[in-house]
Amino acid sequence: SDPPNREKLRVIGGEDGCSGRVEIWHQGSWGTVCDDSWDMADANVVCRQLSCGSAVSALSEAAFGEGTGPIWLEKVHCKGTELSLWDCPAKPLFGKNCDHKEDAAVDCSGGGWRNIMKLTSDVKMFFLFFTLASSLIWTCLPFTGMTETTASTTTAGKTFLLPPFSHQMRN
């Protein structure tokens, strides 16, 4: 059966799930999108659909490597306000107008904090670093109400997986 709607779009090849080659699920298989007319409006829709913030860049020429399988779409023309890539006008690609050297990709600002790392011997203090618009952001964050047995980088990530306020923090 088909994946749920959110899984009908993915990015492959990046480190964080919010950057990479754009792939869509269609007719039972994953395929790529041709970079013909690929721009920031298209990339913004992809990033929003994946809950990955906004687009930092719309990439072309297989910036995250060449995909395999079918190339499902070309000439995507999003306005940038659509909720899904499927809402954007595009041309189905059945001919040989595009090859995998032209796979479209995105780099998104990210969906929140990643790479939580313990910094001190005090289990109630953690060093957080994450990327925002391809820049490294960091802060030390105290965890109140945690004991040595309950505090860990795993619980830190679960406790603070909230809508990011990272745009207010600087290194």
8 A C-beta contact, residue 123 and residue 146: yes
Q: pLDDT for 96-138, tens place per residue?
A: 678 999 999 999 987 554 444 444 555 555 555 554 444 555 5
Token pair in block for residue 160 = 């603070």
In this predicted structure, what is the pLDDT of residue 137?
54
What is d(CA 146, CA 160) in angstroms, rounded to the nearest whole number?
13
94 shares its domain with 28: yes
Is residue 50's pLDDT more than 50?
A: yes
31 shares its domain with 101: yes
pTM of the model: 0.64
Is residue 65's pLDDT more than 90?
A: yes
Domains in the chain: how many in total?
2
Q: Which domain holds residue 129?
A: 116-168
Return all residues near 142 (Cβ < 8 A) that are at least 6 apart.
124, 125
Token pair in block for residue 153 = 């980088």
What is d(CA 95, CA 139) in angstroms, rounded to the nearest whole number?
51
Give alpha helix (H) positions in 106-169.
153-159
